[in-house]
């Protein structure tokens, strides 16, 4: 049975591995000259700049996703860094009881609890409640749910899911709590301000941070030394060892459909490649509305297209620097207020700056040097994408000018930085869009809405179309690597079930 897979991101490589394990003959078509998609890094004069992997859900055995990654990657060979502090947030208007202005988001829950109660004793009840939520998340048993596709289970096994009802009811109860509503319950001005700034000033479900923090406490969200390149490299090797074929520089133009069945793909070069099954692990919008010409839609899909149900996640303007310094006294991830608000050419206004100091991974820079990056998230990626398309000179000028302003702000913050910079690299939303095809340069598919645990409206099969499946980070709001592998594994199980192949996991 021949399978064409569009896209060699984490989802495409994962589904390729699972299907090869089960006797399918797969070929991955990737438009770029390398694999990884958003989960990538690039090298400039001895420095490696990292993009899509700051933390991996499932880095440790305590987290159920570890079992999934272990099916495809030799997890024992990967060294993970588990940061003691997830993020340091410098607040502007208030001070903690010691006169300090930096909030430390510790990954150890006991430490976080003690720290918050020490700086805000008047909020002890709320703080303990918050920590209890995370402890409760830790207490639920999740593994069987990770490995099964509910739709494939016989009714009597589905009945077994009743034991997860308390978890669902619990999540349902807390899903509406946002960082703003929680901050509203706090009395301490410093803690209140810190929680309001948890998502860089946005009001989002608190579960976005409490869920990973619950797993960070159990050492389940580490950063793999070697970053994206090392991690994805292992995935690609596994796929090739299983007998899969990867074809790079192959931009898929159309999914060929005959009598409402996908029968293959047509590349932009004009080449036709027939297959029994087609899987898109690429961008949701271009797959449905360009490769399939919008022929297989329903009301929900059209509402998604118009962003009426979900909004597209942010893209990012990222300035990376190769610096001749170790930054040993600096936190790895910090957010701090700017003296003057900064307005991007795309009109997004920034009151704060976010710095990632990657000195914990020696593979990213020569000895004594560090790769650092500054990320500016934007919902107006269309500005950069359109400008690059219509007026490259203006695009280039805006990009360079904004990057220089960011570098100047960084130099004010980090004394001596100006003289230490050896390499400058700038990626705009147009860069992310061009390299991966993701709509609006989105870095994680859809933005999770207020109803974060609602069932995803994005389905892997399309109405009226046979022989076609969609996977990847657009299938569940919030995206990320866990969604990429889970959607790939689930779909491989669905395909095996359809062709009466017992789903199995094998070594090479």
Ligand X SMILES: Cc1cc2nc3c(=O)[nH]c(=O)nc-3n(C[C@H](O)[C@H](O)[C@H](O)COP(=O)(O)OP(=O)(O)OC[C@H]3O[C@@H](n4cnc5c(N)ncnc54)[C@H](O)[C@@H]3O)c2cc1C
Of 345 and 480, the one with the shorter C-beta distance to ligand X is 480
Distance in Å, CB of 65 to ligand X, minimum: 10
Distance in Å, CB of 97 to ligand X, minimum: 32
212 binds ligand X, rule: CB under 6 A = no
The dihedral through the CA atoms of 319, 30, 258, 461 has a sign that is negative
> Which residues are 257's β-sheet partners?
262
Is residue 374 within 8 Å of 406, Cβ to Cβ?
yes
Rounded to 5 degrees, what angle do the CA atoms 105, 110, 114 make?
75
Give residues with Cβ within 8 angstroms of 34, minimum separation 6. Answer: 8, 40, 248
Of 146 and 191, the one with the shorter C-beta distance to ligand X is 146
Q: Out of 63, 444, 491, 493, which residue is the one contacting ligand X (CB under 6 A)?
A: 444
Query: Cα–Cα distance between 243 and 507 in angstroms, integer?
Result: 12
# residues near ligand X by CB under 6 A = 36
Of 477 and 479, the one with the shorter C-beta distance to ligand X is 479
Distance in Å, CB of 92 to ligand X, minimum: 25
Query: Cα–Cα distance between 473 and 481 in angstroms, integer?
Result: 7
| Cα separation values, 88 from 179, 205, 208, 218, 330, Å | 16, 19, 17, 20, 10
Strands 41-44 and 315-323: unpaired
Is residue 440 within 8 Å of 283, Cβ to Cβ?
no
Binding mask 309-338 for ligand X (x = CB under 6 A): -------x----------------------
Q: Out of 8, 183, 186, 292, which residue is the one contacting ligand X (CB under 6 A)?
A: 8
Of 53 and 134, the one with the shorter C-beta distance to ligand X is 53
**Within 10 A of 188 (CB to CB), how many other CB atoms are there?**
20
Of 399 and 473, the one with the shorter C-beta distance to ligand X is 473
Site for ligand X in 233-252 (CB under 6 A): 251-252
Of 127 and 484, the one with the shorter C-beta distance to ligand X is 484
Binding mask 461-480 for ligand X (x = CB under 6 A): -----------xx-----xx
Binding mask 150-189 for ligand X (x = CB under 6 A): ----------------------------------------
Q: Out of 443, 447, 462, 492, which residue is the one contacting ligand X (CB under 6 A)?
A: 443
> Which residues are 353's β-sheet partners?
336
Site for ligand X in 27-56 (CB under 6 A): 29-32, 37-39, 51-55
Give residues with Cβ within 8 angstroms of 494, minimum separation 6. Answer: 149, 151, 152, 460, 469
Looking at 306-377, list the stretches that DSSP marks H as alpha helix, in order from N- to C-terminal side: none
Q: Out of 283, 346, 425, 490, which residue is the one contacting ligand X (CB under 6 A)?
A: 283
Of 191 and 207, the one with the shorter C-beta distance to ligand X is 207
| Cα separation values, 147 from 56, 143, 156, 504, Å | 18, 7, 17, 12
By the criterion CB under 6 A, which residues form the site for ligand X? 6-12, 29-32, 37-39, 51-55, 251-252, 281-283, 316, 436-438, 443-444, 472-473, 479-481, 484
């Amino acid at each position: 049975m021949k399978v064409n897979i569009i896209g060699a991101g984490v989802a495409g490589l994962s589904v390729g591995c699972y299907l090869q394990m089960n006797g399918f003959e797969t070929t991955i078509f990737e438009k770029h000259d390398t694999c990884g998609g958003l989960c990538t890094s690039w090298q400039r004069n001895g420095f490696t700049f990292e993009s899509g992997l700051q933390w991996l859900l499932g880095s440790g055995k305590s987290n159920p996703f570890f079992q999934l990654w272990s099916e495809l990657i030799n997890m024992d060979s990967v060294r993970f860094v588990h940061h003691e502090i997830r993020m340091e947030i410098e607040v502007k208007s208030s001070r903690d009881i010691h006169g300090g202005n930096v909030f430390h988001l510790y990954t150890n829950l006991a430490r976080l609890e003690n720290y918050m109660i020490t700086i805000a004793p008047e909020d002890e009840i709320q703080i303990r409640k918050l920590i209890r939520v995370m402890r409760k998340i830790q207490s639920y048993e999740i593994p069987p749910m990770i490995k099964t596709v509910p739709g494939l289970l016989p009714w009597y096994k589905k009945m077994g899911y009743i034991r997860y009802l308390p978890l669902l009811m619990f999540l349902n109860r807390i899903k509406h709590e946002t960082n703003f509503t929680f901050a509203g319950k706090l009395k301490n001005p410093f803690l209140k301000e810190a929680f309001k700034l948890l998502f860089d000033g946005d009001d989002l479900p608190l579960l976005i941070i409490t869920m990973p923090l619950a797993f960070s406490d159990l050492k389940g969200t580490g950063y793999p030394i070697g970053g994206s390149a090392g991690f994805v490299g292992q995935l690609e090797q596994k796929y090739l060892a299983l007998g899969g074929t990867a074809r790079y520089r192959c931009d898929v133009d159309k999914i060929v459909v005959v009598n409402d069945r996908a029968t293959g793909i047509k590349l932009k070069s004009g080449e036709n490649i027939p297959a029994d099954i087609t899987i898109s692990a690429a961008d949701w919008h271009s797959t449905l509305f360009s490769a399939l010409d919008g022929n297989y839609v329903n009301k929900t899909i059209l509402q998604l297209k118009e962003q009426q149900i979900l909004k597209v996640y942010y893209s990012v303007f990222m300035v990376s620097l190769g610096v001749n310094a170790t930054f040993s006294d600096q936190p790895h991830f910090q957010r701090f207020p700017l003296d003057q608000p900064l307005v991007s050419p795309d009109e997004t206004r920034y009151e704060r700056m976010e710095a990632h100091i990657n000195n914990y991974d020696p593979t990213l820079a020569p000895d004594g040097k560090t790769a650092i990056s500054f990320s500016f998230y934007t919902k107006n990626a269309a500005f950069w994408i359109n400008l690059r398309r219509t007026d490259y000179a203006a695009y280039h000028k805006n990009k360079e000018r904004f990057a220089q302003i960011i570098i100047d702000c960084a130099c004010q913050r980090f004394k001596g930085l100006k003289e230490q910079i050896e390499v400058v690299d700038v990626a705009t939303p147009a860069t992310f869009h061009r390299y991966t095809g993701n709509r609006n340069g989105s870095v994680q598919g859809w933005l999770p809405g207020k109803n974060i645990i609602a069932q995803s409206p994005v389905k892997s099969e399309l109405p009226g179309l046979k022989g076609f499946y969609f996977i990847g980070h657009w299938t569940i709001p919030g995206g990320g690597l866990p969604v990429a592998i889970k959607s790939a594994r689930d779909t491989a199980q669905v395909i095996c079930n359809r062709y009466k192949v017992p789903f199995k996991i094998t070594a090479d």
